[in-house]
A and B are shown apart, each in its own frame.
Chain A
Amino acid sequence: MNLTEVKKGERAQIVRIDGDRRYLSRITSIGLNVGCRVEMLQNVKKKPLLIYGRDTMIALNREESERIQVEVEG
């Protein structure tokens, strides 16, 4: 599943990121790379996603986040 499908409060691990070079370098330089664990803080309608990862809160564009594949942790 992709990151936008993770529900509020769920934790997930990033398993794959697709996209062009620009996107990959933007998303990884803020700290989100494959293997990174994140928690969904807010996921509402069309608003940007709000996640917690690598000790901080990060806002992510929704359409772009569909390229981030995750596995939800129990």
Chain B
Amino acid sequence: MGETRNIALLGQPNSGKSTIFNTLTGMHQHVGNWPGKTVEKKEGEFKYGEASYKVADLPGSYSLSANSEEEMVTRDYIAKNDLDLVCILADASQLERSMYMLADYAGMRTPVMLVLTMMDVAKSKGKVIDVKKLSDKLGIEVCSLVAYDKKSYDSFYQCLEASIQKQKTLDYDALVTIIKESESAELYQQYLNKAVLISSERRSEDWVAMKLLEADEAVIRELAIKGEKDIQTDPKGALYASDARFHWIESILDGVVTDAKKPSEALTKFDRAAIGPRSGKWVAFGIVVLALAGAMIVASPIMGLGSALPSVLNPLIDATLGGLGVSETILHFIKSTIVVSLGWVVSMVGFIFAMNFVFGILEEVGYMARVSYVFDRSMGKLGLQGKALMPMIMGLGCTMGSASGSRVIDSYGQRIMTIAVAWAVPCGATFVVIPTLANAFFGTAGGLLVMFFIFVIMFVHVLITSKVFGRKLNPVETRTGIVMELPPYHKPRWGFILKNSLMRMWEVFKKAFAIELIVCIIFYILSYSSSGIEGSILYKVGTFVEPVSSFIGMKWQTFMAFIAAMISKEAVLGVLSALFANSGSIMDSTTGLAAASDNIAQIVASAIPKAEALAFIIAVTFNIPCLQAVVSTYNETHSVKWTAKIGLYYILTALLLSTVVYHVAALFM
């Protein structure tokens, strides 16, 4: 058996990094967080020839500065001694710009190779790149590939092998010469002397000195720990450093890239509309509607399958297990836990597949970056990227949609923030349940007024929630204006996107089923009763806390429905029906096994006072949307901690809203 090698992928945004990661590793991926950091950790494995490779997909950024937690994680990672190779990616169609990552890497002594992507685009732009010559000048292996086409990876694997065998490190002498001949030569020399204190086997003095020239806070902090407290920094240092790097890149590319200089055709007709000051928002709106419709079309057959599962499986269970003499209680347990959660998970992955497919296309094509640009100002006020608007609008359909759609947000912290905010957007199920209740209590006009009230609360909620979660996830003082490349449009690779969406769907399926099953079992136990509703733990707890919940605005019945709505929003009517009209058990009503009584809305309207009803309606709307939303939030954040924080925050705000609404409404109703 061959050895295991550790490699890392490093590249600027739009360099095709995740495409390469996915192509290399396929199903063998693990996603999690870096310990103690709000940064996503993506690792995977692949085999080639005798060797197996462990590959880390390092968070994308434009350089190795200390501007974000992501970049700090990357910097630590590439200096690790057990890392065998770093593969730096560069977009061949704009090599000068995208080689900056490699130039910033110069001085690191971890073996490295350069991977040129988008060669096809470069060609169409009239650029010819002499890969051999580039490799000679840099002293490392250079290969080119088409990121989504595995057939083009032969030279990549060969370079990988050669780079590791020969431990090829980047030749950066020319860069040092440029610095030493520039106006910052003297300063650089001073920094070199200090750099010795914190340089390491993998991180040369030159790299540290370059960072000192940039006045990089992280290396200055490291030096301070070593006792070097007053480092003189030059406010223009960052400019000198980047000038030197671009000079170096130009000298390297001289004679390597031949440019036929086709006239720039930057703005196509579509782009002019897509980014136009007025038209941009309309184009985005149109595309959101199309995307939502597209996602529903893709998802509905799978979701239909999910909701049909109980009606297919339950008779089957009755026939087989029932025939074997298994007791009715056990059969019921199986139906209301395993079958129900299986059905839910199937519906959920349908949604996740659709979101990945539709958003995958928009992302691949390059349109998402335009959305970010168009909504930069409005979403920026919330501390979110412009494209966060897309998953939030998806929330009007289904909160699972916004959770899985949030993957287009490239910063992990902002992704969590987007999901947290999107939970406040009332989902499709709310629009089914709430108007029914609101109309029964307040009549048609009153019902409309309630819906209007809900939207007002939504806007305030979104504002407050973005502030609450932004304080930790995107602190105001670290917020910066947009500086972002809008990549040229690419044709979507259908097969590739389809494959990725399917893989993602399977991944989620495995994880989500277990979680939903456990929650269903817990809820089953809580609501289990051998003698009517009164025997259940839920009832006992509900009646026990009634003195408190009445203050919040809910009697035990509405409070129980409020709890059940966290599992499924559609359950609200069913549970009320179970409580007021005896239409079935709590469990069956929550899981949809027992239907609500036809005139349930009228029944509760006569049983519940109006102030309590309004408080209940608002509380249910802005509570945890449903179990599915929680699970898909966990899928995207991979963090129990953040999922729990968001969940708890919504329960507390829902109770608070309920209290305020109840007491204010009680004055008038």
Contacts and interface: CB of A to CB of B under 8 A. Distances in A.
B264 A39 contact: yes
Given A48-B481, A50-B275, A25 B63 contact: yes
B70 interface: no
A58 B485 contact: yes
Given A48-B376, A50-B373, A56-B487, A61 B243 contact: no
B377 interface: yes
Interface in A2-40: 17, 20-31, 33-35, 39
B480 interface: yes
B246 interface: yes
Interface string A34-54: 110001011011111010101
A24 B233 CA distance: 14
B481 A63 contact: yes
Which size class do B's interface residues fall under? 35 or more
Contact of B480 (A26, A54, A55): A26
A7 B658 CA distance: 53
B62 A50 contact: no
B237 interface: yes
Contact of B486 (A26, A31, A50): A50
A28 B283 CA distance: 31
A47 B377 contact: yes
Nearest to A28: B242
B603 interface: no
B62 A30 contact: yes
Contacts of B97: 30-31, 54-56
A41 to B, nearest CB: 6
Contact of B62 (A26, A57, A64): A26
A56 B97 CA distance: 9
Contact of B93 (A42, A48, A55, A58): A55
A60 interface: yes
Nearest to A20: B235
B65 A26 contact: yes
Contacts of A61: 376, 480-483
Contacts of B174: none
B376 A31 contact: no
A1 interface: no
B277 A21 contact: no
A62 B216 CA distance: 25
A34 B482 contact: no
B57 interface: no
A27 B484 CA distance: 9
B215 interface: yes
A61 to B, nearest CB: 2
B264 A29 contact: no
A47 B277 contact: yes
Contacts of B93: 55
A7 B544 CA distance: 70
Contacts of A21: 214-217, 233, 235, 237-238
A47 B488 CA distance: 20
B480 A57 contact: no
Given A21-B237, A61-B483, A31 B100 contact: yes
Contact of A29 (B65, B233, B482): B65
B260 interface: no
Interface string B98-109: 001000100000
Contacts of B377: 46-48
B275 A42 contact: yes
A28 B242 CA distance: 6
B277 A25 contact: no
B67 A45 contact: no
Interface string B184-225: 000000000000000000000000000000111100000000
A47 B275 CA distance: 10
A42 B373 CA distance: 12
Contact of A55 (B96, B216, B372, B481): B96
Contact of A58 (B67, B125, B277, B486): B486
Contacts of A44: 277
A44 B280 CA distance: 12
A58 B246 contact: no
Contact of B482 (A33, A48, A55): A48
B239 A28 contact: yes
A46 B482 CA distance: 13
B373 A24 contact: no
Residue from the set B216, B237, B484 with the largest chain A CB neighbour count within 10 Å: B484
Contacts of B480: 22-23, 26, 61, 64
B266 A41 contact: yes
Nearest to A29: B63
A44 B484 CA distance: 17
B175 to A, nearest CB: 15
A28 B657 CA distance: 47
B319 interface: no
B196 to A, nearest CB: 23
Interface string B233-275: 1011111001100100000000000000000101100000001
B280 to A, nearest CB: 9
Contacts of B311: none
B94 A54 contact: yes
A31 B264 CA distance: 17
A28 B238 contact: yes
Contacts of A64: 480-481, 483
B648 to A, nearest CB: 34
B373 A48 contact: yes
Contacts of A25: 63, 65, 67, 214, 238, 242
A57 B483 contact: no
B593 to A, nearest CB: 52
26 contacts: A21-B217, A22-B480, A25-B214, A26-B65, A26-B483, A28-B238, A28-B243, A29-B62, A29-B242, A31-B94, A31-B97, A33-B243, A35-B243, A39-B266, A45-B277, A52-B264, A54-B94, A54-B96, A56-B485, A58-B483, A58-B486, A59-B372, A59-B373, A59-B482, A61-B482, A64-B480
| Nearest 8 A/B pairs, CB to CB | A61-B481, A29-B63, A28-B242, A31-B97, A55-B94, A24-B238, A29-B62, A54-B97
Given A44-B277, A55-B125, A56-B485, 5 more contacts: A28-B242, A30-B62, A31-B94, A56-B94, A59-B485
